[in-house]
């Protein structure tokens, strides 16, 4: 395993400098643009090309040598054009630009009109806040946080009279790591995805709509590997800065992109930077999307900015791991923020994965933690519930994203059920250190809204809230 880990780390490190594209999250690359290239008409054609030009999903590697050979980021990020995307492109906003309803899209127009009417009637006083890039300078806001604005005080539970659901910040299972990655699909993610596959590990993948359109074959691999796919907006900007229509379009077209490319319609989402308030929550809930934020941030995305170093990120990982031992997670587990953003963020997870597995009883995608056995609108696609995923029971609705699903378990904690169409289930044993103890949950998420305590009815001028999370 050590050798395999070394190979993966090497592969993830190789293409670190090659980039062109969009910059986000603390100045990091969040996408390599795919300007188009040789046309791939279908997944079947892709498979026939794989031995010559491994652009995306590949056959399983059989040994370390073949794995090292086939995870060359330069090859992985070679531009291509995918016919299903070319055919659908005119029905979508321009990638990496703020989404708006595409002219002539009657379905979107009709749906938005209905949602907009509800939003305006329910929250007439909540308007857009700050800039799309997170500059909230000069924004006046009531210190009592009437909008339950996460970016202000990490509010995650809207007042009861709003009728909105609370955000998901933790998983209900003790000593269990809620496992996911933001910002994918990254075109050079094969080494990471291979590593997850080889460990029988599924995750919740929060995909950016523009990345799905840019790198559809990489997105397909996420589904095929049995990961849970959620929405992470179209252009990865601050959601509370958008008008109702823009916020709607950011979610609607990402959901539609995933449906178009992967054939499934997600029911979950995560706001970039955690930036959400009641207005945005209502728009998302109207699209049948459950908001999943997090309790702990590795700050992997932040390396190189604000003085954050790789060592700091390692300490953040270790801090979450240590909380198992002090009893923090005896009643519920953390949802931890980490990223498929760049080579560092991917390799850092690989570095800590074995430690995580050793400390936590289970490492599971959010769907498994919450027993969401039908995570998509398409109910024929199913996912294992918690007991099945963790191999504690084989009687419940195990399955996969395909009719030929299989659920697998192995000796104990961490066994994995396949949720993929084509993937096979593998599993590995995990050591199960138990644990216990106290802790702090979500807070440490270093947001630092300025301003001292003030009267409940007063208004605060918010200084720039630095890119606090991704």
Q: Is 340 in the site for Zn ion (CB under 5 A)?
A: no
Report the length, in residues, of the chain. Answer: 470
CB 207 within 8 A of CB 222: yes
Compute the Cα dihedral for 183, 188, 192, 194 and give only its sign.
positive
Q: How far is the CB of 182 from Zn ion (least distance, A)?
A: 4
CB 339 within 8 A of CB 300: yes
- Per-state percent for the chain, helix, strand, coil, to nearest 5: 35, 10, 50
Q: Nearer to Zn ion by C-beta: 182 or 194?
A: 182
Q: How far is the CB of 275 from Zn ion (least distance, A)?
A: 10
Cross-strand pairs, 230: 206
Question: Phi-psi bin for 41: left (phi > 0), alpha (psi -120 to 50), beta?
Answer: alpha
Q: How far is the CB of 405 from Zn ion (least distance, A)?
A: 29
Q: Is 272 in the site for Zn ion (CB under 5 A)?
A: yes
Q: How far is the CB of 372 from Zn ion (least distance, A)?
A: 21
CA-closest candidate to residue 227, choices 196, 264, 202? 202
How far is Cα 239 from Cα 249, in angstroms, rounded to an integer? Answer: 11
SS3 of 108-146: the string is HHHHHHHHHHHHHHHCCCCCCCCCCCCCCCCEEEECCCC
Q: Nearer to Zn ion by C-beta: 226 or 271?
A: 271
Q: How far is the CB of 211 from Zn ion (least distance, A)?
A: 10
Q: Nearer to Zn ion by C-beta: 273 or 362?
A: 273
Q: Nearer to Zn ion by C-beta: 119 or 469?
A: 469
448 included as an active-site residue? no
Stretch near Zn ion under the rule CB under 5 A, chosen from 76-84, 265-273, 309-317, 461-469 = 265-273
| Cα dihedral value 166, 254, 188, 469, nearest 10 | -40
Cross-strand pairs, 168: 292
Question: Phi-psi bin for 87: left (phi > 0), alpha (psi -120 to 50), beta?
Answer: alpha
Backbone angles phi, psi at 140, to 5 degrees: -90, 130
Stretch near Zn ion under the rule CB under 5 A, chosen from 97-105, 183-191, 355-363, 404-412 = 183-191
Q: Is 470 in the site for Zn ion (CB under 5 A)?
A: yes
Nearest-5° angle of CA 282, CA 24, CA 271? Answer: 15
Q: Nearer to Zn ion by C-beta: 101 or 470?
A: 470
Cross-strand pairs, 268: 290
For Zn ion, how many residues bind (rule: CB under 5 A)?
A: 4
What is the per-residue binding string for Zn ion in 123-162, x denoting contact by CB under 5 A? Answer: ----------------------------------------
Q: Is 183 in the site for Zn ion (CB under 5 A)?
A: yes
CB 398 within 8 A of CB 201: no
Q: Nearer to Zn ion by C-beta: 237 or 428?
A: 237
DSSP 166: P
Cα 20–chain centre separation: 22
Q: How far is the CB of 25 from Zn ion (least distance, A)?
A: 6
214 included as an active-site residue? no
Q: Is 276 in the site for Zn ion (CB under 5 A)?
A: no
The active-site residue out of 167, 182, 194, 277 is: 182
Q: How far is the CB of 395 from Zn ion (least distance, A)?
A: 37
CB 190 within 8 A of CB 70: yes
How far is Cα 20 from Cα 361, in angstroms, rounded to an integer? Answer: 40
The active-site residue out of 214, 227, 339, 385 is: 339
Cβ-based neighbour number of residue 361 at 10 Å: 24
Cross-strand pairs, 334: 170
Q: How far is the CB of 83 from Zn ion (least distance, A)?
A: 29
Stretch near Zn ion under the rule CB under 5 A, chosen from 166-174, 175-183, 368-376, 440-448 = 175-183
Stretch near Zn ion under the rule CB under 5 A, chosen from 11-19, 45-53, 189-197, 272-280 = 272-280
Q: Nearer to Zn ion by C-beta: 31 or 217?
A: 31
Q: Nearer to Zn ion by C-beta: 7 or 470?
A: 470
Contact pick of 100, 182, 245, 299 for Zn ion (by CB under 5 A): 182
DSSP 411: S
What is the per-residue binding string for Zn ion in 213-252, x denoting contact by CB under 5 A? Answer: ----------------------------------------
Stretch near Zn ion under the rule CB under 5 A, chosen from 143-151, 180-188, 238-246, 254-262 = 180-188
Where on the chain is the footprint of Zn ion (CB under 5 A)? 182-183, 272, 470
- Which residues are annotated as catalytic? 182, 339
């Amino acid at each position: 395993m050590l050798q395999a880990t070394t190979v993966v780390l090497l592969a993830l490190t190789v293409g670190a400098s090659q980039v062109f594209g969009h910059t986000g999250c603390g100045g990091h690359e969040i996408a390599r643009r795919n300007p188009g290239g040789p046309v791939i008409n279908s997944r079947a054609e892709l498979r026939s090309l794989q031995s010559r030009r491994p652009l995306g999903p590949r056959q399983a590697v059989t040994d370390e040598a073949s794995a090292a050979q086939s995870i060359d980021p330069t090859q992985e990020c070679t531009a291509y054009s995918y016919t299903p995307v070319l055919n659908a492109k005119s029905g979508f906003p321009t990638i990496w630009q703020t989404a708006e309803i595409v002219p002539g899209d009657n379905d979107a127009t009709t749906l938005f009109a209905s949602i907009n009417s509800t939003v305006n009637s329910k929250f007439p006083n909540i308007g857009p806040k700050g800039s799309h890039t997170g500059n909230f300078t000069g924004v006046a806001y009531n210190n009592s946080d009437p909008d339950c604005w996460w970016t202000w005080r990490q509010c995650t539970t809207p007042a009861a009279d709003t009728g909105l659901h609370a955000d998901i910040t933790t998983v209900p299972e003790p000593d269990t790591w809620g496992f996911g990655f933001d910002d994918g699909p990254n075109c050079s993610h094969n080494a990471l995805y291979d590593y997850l596959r080889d460990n029988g590990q599924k995750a919740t993948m929060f995909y950016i709509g523009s990345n799905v359109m840019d790198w559809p074959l990489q997105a397909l691999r996420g589904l095929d590997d049995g990961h849970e796919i959620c929405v992470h907006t179209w252009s990865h900007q601050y959601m509370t800065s958008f008008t109702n229509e823009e916020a709607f379009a950011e979610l609607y077209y990402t959901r539609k992109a995933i449906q178009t490319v992967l054939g499934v319609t997600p029911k979950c989402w995560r706001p970039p930077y955690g930036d959400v308030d009641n207005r945005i929550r209502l728009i998302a809930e109207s699209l049948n999307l459950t908001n999943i934020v997090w309790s702990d941030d590795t700050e992997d995305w932040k390396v190189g900015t604000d003085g954050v170093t790789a060592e700091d990120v390692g300490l953040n990982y270790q801090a979450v791991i240590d909380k198992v031992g002090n009893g923090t997670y005896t009643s519920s587990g953390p949802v931890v923020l980490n990223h498929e953003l760049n080579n560092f963020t991917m390799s850092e997870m690989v570095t800590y994965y074995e430690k995580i597995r050793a400390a936590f009883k289970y490492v599971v995608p959010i769907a498994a933690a919450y027993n969401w056995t039908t995570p998509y609108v398409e109910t024929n696609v199913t996912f294992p519930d918690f007991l099945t995923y963790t191999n504690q029971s084989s009687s419940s609705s195990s399955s996969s994203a395909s009719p030929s699903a299989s659920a697998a378990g192995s000796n104990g904690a961490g066994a994995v059920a396949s949720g993929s169409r084509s993937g096979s289930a593998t599993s590995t044993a995990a050591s199960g250190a138990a644990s216990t103890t106290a802790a702090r949950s979500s807070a440490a998420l270093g947001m630092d809204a300025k301003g001292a305590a003030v009267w409940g009815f007063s208004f605060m001028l918010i200084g720039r809230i630095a890119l606090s999370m991704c």
